[in-house]
Amino acid sequence: MWNERRDDFASFDGRVWLNTAHQGVLPRVAAEAARDAIAWKQQPWHLTTERFSGVPQRLRRAVAAVIGAPAEQVILGNSASYGLHLLANGVVWHDGDEVLVMQGDFPSDILPWLGLASRGVHVRQLRPANRVLSVDEVATAISPRTRLLCLTWVHSLSGYAIDLDAIGDLCRQFGVLFVVNASQALGVRPLAVTTAPVDALVSVGFKWLCGPYGTGFCWVRPELLDRMTCQQTYWLAMLTSDDLARDELDLSLQHDPGARRYDVFGTANFFNFHPLATAIEYVLGVGIEAIASHDAALVERFIAGLDRRRYRLLSPESGPARSTLVFFAPIDRMQTDRVYDALVADGIYVARRAGALRLAPHLYNTTADIDRMLAVLNDALSRN
Instruction: Write the CA distances from 227 to 76, 94, 115, 206, 231, integer angstroms.
Output: 19, 14, 20, 30, 12
My answer on whether 231 and 375 are in the same domain is: no
My answer on whether 86 and 125 are in the same domain is: yes
Residue 260 in this model has a pLDDT that exceeds 90 = no
Residue 125 in this model has a pLDDT that exceeds 60 = yes
Mean pLDDT calculated for residue range 32-49? 92
Residue 135's pLDDT band, with cuts at 50, 70 and 90, is very high
Q: Shortest CA distance to 100 belongs to which of 64, 144, 66?
A: 144
My answer on whether 235 and 302 are in the same domain is: no
pLDDT tens for 192-205 read 999 999 999 999 99
Average pLDDT of the chain?
A: 93
pLDDT tens for 45-78 read 998 888 888 899 999 999 999 999 999 999 999 9
Residue 384 in this model has a pLDDT that exceeds 60 = no
Q: What is the pLDDT of residue 121?
A: 98
My answer on whether 214 and 107 are in the same domain is: yes
My answer on whether 147 and 217 are in the same domain is: yes
Domain boundary among 285, 313, 333: 285
Q: What is the pLDDT of residue 244?
A: 65
Q: What is the pLDDT of residue 263?
A: 86
My answer on whether 296 and 326 are in the same domain is: yes
Alpha-carbon distance 108 to 117, whole Å?
17
- Any idea what the CATH number is for the domain that residue 345 is in? 3.90.1150.10
My answer on whether 140 and 70 are in the same domain is: yes
Lowest model confidence (mean pLDDT) among 217-231, 260-274, 312-326 = 260-274
Quote the strand ranges of the chain, DSSP E: 16-17, 74-77, 98-102, 122-126, 146-152, 177-181, 200-204, 216-220, 311-313, 326-330, 348-349, 351-353, 356-359
| Distance, C-alpha 249 to centroid of its chain | 38
My answer on whether 263 and 208 are in the same domain is: yes
Residue 3 in this model has a pLDDT that exceeds 90 = no
Mean pLDDT calculated for residue range 160-170? 98
Q: What pairs with residue 19 in β-bridges? A: 360
Q: Which residues contact 131 (CB under 8 A, 6 or more apart)?
A: 155, 158, 159, 160, 315
My answer on whether 74 and 209 are in the same domain is: yes
Domain boundary among 260, 285, 310: 285
My answer on whether 244 and 320 are in the same domain is: no
Number of Cβ within a 10 Å radius of residue 71? 15
Read off φ and ψ for residue 220, nearest 5 degrees. Answer: -130, 130
Q: What is the pLDDT of residue 245?
A: 64
| % pLDDT > 90, the chain | 83
Alpha-carbon distance 171 to 298, whole Å?
34
Quote the strand ranges of 14-137, DSSP E: 16-17, 74-77, 98-102, 122-126
Residue 243 in this model has a pLDDT that exceeds 80 = no
Q: What is the pLDDT of residue 43?
A: 95
- Any idea what the CATH number is for the domain that residue 245 is in? 3.40.640.10
Q: Shortest CA distance to 286 belongs to which of 54, 66, 77?
A: 66
Residue 85's pLDDT band, with cuts at 50, 70 and 90, is very high
Which sign, positive or negative, has the C-alpha torsion 147, 227, 184, 82?
negative
Lowest model confidence (mean pLDDT) among 3-17, 42-56, 158-172, 328-342 = 42-56
Q: Shortest CA distance to 2 belongs to which of 362, 372, 371, 375?
A: 362
- How many CA atoms lie less than 13 Å away from 40 in the CB half-sphere? 19
Q: What is residue 264's DSSP assignment?
A: P
Q: Shortest CA distance to 297 belongs to which of 362, 372, 381, 348?
A: 362
Helices (H), 252-348: 270-286, 288-305, 336-345
My answer on whether 184 and 330 are in the same domain is: no
Q: What pairs with residue 372 in β-bridges? A: none
Which range marks the domain in which residue 299 is found?
A: 2-26+287-380
Q: How many domains would you assign to the chain?
A: 2
Alpha-carbon distance 250 to 274, whole Å?
30
My answer on whether 39 and 76 are in the same domain is: yes
Domain boundary among 285, 300, 326: 285
